[in-house]
Amino acid sequence: MRITNLKKKMGDFTLDIKDLTIKEGAIHGFIGGNGCGKTTLAKLIMGIIEADSGHMDMAHLTNLQMTMTSQRPYLMHTSVYENIIYPLKIRKLPIDQGQVDQLLQCCGLLEKKNQYARSLSSGERQKVSLIRALIFNPKLVIIDETFSNMDMDSVQLFEEMILKIQQEEPITWIMISHQLAHIYKMCDYIHFFAKGHLLDSGTTEDIFLKSKNEIIRRYMETQMIEKRGSI
Amino acid sequence: MIEIVAAMERFFMNIGAMDAIKVTLIMAISSTSISAVVGITFGLLLERHNFMGKRIIIRINRTLMGVPPVVIGLLVYLLLMRRGPLGSLSLLFTIQGMILAQTLIITPIISGMVYTHASRSAPSIRQFAKTMGASKWQTNVLMIKEMKHELYFAIVAGFGRSISEVGAVMLVGGNIKGSTRTMTTAISLLKSQGIFTEGVTLGLLLLLMAFILQWMADYFQREDTTDENY
């Protein structure tokens, strides 16, 4: 997947990406300060908003093969179960009740299967949105701060789930997060954004440990003060 | 028991209440149905598209939401009178003419309520649909499903306005017994004749209809939100 000369103006903010390559089958991390354009780029990739100019080569990926979850996921006005099977329904794929139950069981949500989805806590809502994103075996998943309200056990569970998928049948992931420990642990490649521009791209070690860019180094230092122990 | 039923029957027959109830229901259901289709479509389209003059259209719609029904009644009367532009249709003092007036009163209410709610919730529904890979048709179906309560409330509000309206139906319908007399125009006539008991009974029936509609709205709302666990 390659993005070239992409521009999107939104009010005073302009996203301007000269060249960004997303390698297939790898986990990518989008990091940077607030308002640097990470989520805007994710929405452009998903086709939620349209670019003013530029080119996105989606490597034959269609809308039906990709999905995105957000920090405050949208849950439909129906049960947890109906929310989870929604992507299967619109793709007319068979519903494997056993798989749904197993995923719900893993996340501790099986007893809430028939509960009104919007009555769940924010962490539980994020779990439902992640299960819903993974249920139809997508080729590209964008996770935008979706782990932010989850307890550590659940984050670990989903991390293991993602790594298992990568071992068995690798897909492309884009993770947007300020939790650098999580990004460092999970991602193969990092793309650092600042003020609407892509400052640097590289392997996780290159960006986290060897970057010469002053802005990136300063960002890492301030963000990792409390997380250094875990890294 | 039989005597009570017979007394009730006498009461309704004497004042032509059954006809008034029938006319009210035909008029309210027909005008609300037409307004629901037009108003919901218009409200959703208005939210979906940006164009020059959209703000003015929204303001006009909001103004029409509060326009006195008697003004609409007068306009429809002028349109339908023998020498009016639509006089040849002979709709004045008919139930069809009343439905036309009611539709003009209710449609802005439904479209305004739908637009207001859609402008708050439709963008997030559309974004969600996009992340799920839904087609345009599937997105539209989802939109209707997700906003079903608000659409229902808009329709109930329109129906409530329809059954409670007097001015426009009096002007356009003429309050003809057995033909264009509605419950509200019957109440108005009974009051002018000093027959208060029957008037109050019809009023209570109107209240009962409004209560049933509201109860249904609450019931559907509860069906969706059972087992809440905050």
User: Residue A132: inside a domain, yes or no?
Assistant: no
Of the candidates A77, A148, A158, A32, which has an alpha carbon nearest to the alpha carbon of residue B150? A77
CATH code (residue A8) = 3.40.50.300
User: Residue B228: inside a domain, yes or no?
Assistant: no
Question: Do B131 and A69 count as a contact with CB atoms less than 8 A apart?
Answer: yes
How many other C-beta atoms are found inside a 10 Å radius of the C-beta of residue B82? Answer: 8
Question: Do B131 and A120 count as a contact with CB atoms less than 8 A apart?
Answer: no
Of the candidates A63, A176, A76, which has an alpha carbon nearest to the alpha carbon of residue A132? A76
SS3 A28: strand
Contact list, B148 vs chain A (CB under 8 Å): 77
Q: Which domain holds residue B165?
A: 2-48+55-222
Model confidence at B93, pLDDT cuts 50, 70, 90, reads: very high
Interchain contact B225–A (C-beta under 8 A): yes
Chain B residues 58-117 with CB within 8 Å of chain A:
none
User: Residue B227: inside a domain, yes or no?
Assistant: no
Q: For A50-86, write each residue's pLDDT tens digit.
A: 999 999 998 889 999 999 999 889 999 999 999 999 9
CATH code (residue B213) = 1.10.3720.10
For residue A191, list its beta bridge partners: A30, A201
Name B112's Cβ contacts closer than 8 Å, sequence gap at least 6.
B43, B61, B62, B64, B65
User: Residue A114: inside a domain, yes or no?
Assistant: no
Looking at residue B223, its pLDDT comes to 58
Contact A9, A37 (CB under 8 A): no
User: Residue A173: inside a domain, yes or no?
Assistant: yes
Model confidence at B220, pLDDT cuts 50, 70, 90, reads: low
Distance CA B221, CA B230 (A): 17
Looking at residue A228, its pLDDT comes to 47
Look at chain B and report how many structural domains it folds into: 1
Of the candidates A104, A156, A101, A96, which has an alpha carbon nearest to the alpha carbon of residue A127? A104
User: Residue A78: inside a domain, yes or no?
Assistant: no
Q: How far is CA A169 from the centre of its chain?
A: 18
Contact B93, B180 (CB under 8 A): yes
Question: Do A76 and B142 count as a contact with CB atoms less than 8 A apart?
Answer: yes
Mean pLDDT of B90-112: 96
Looking at residue B230, its pLDDT comes to 32
Please name the residue of chain A whose CA is at the shortest distance from the CA of residue B221: A77
Look at chain A and report how many structural domains it folds into: 1
User: Residue A90: inside a domain, yes or no?
Assistant: no
Q: Which domain holds residue A28?
A: 2-72+140-224
The answer, yes or no, to whether residue B9 has pLDDT greater than 80, is no
Looking at residue A147, its pLDDT comes to 85
Report phi then psi at A35, rounded to 5: 75, 25
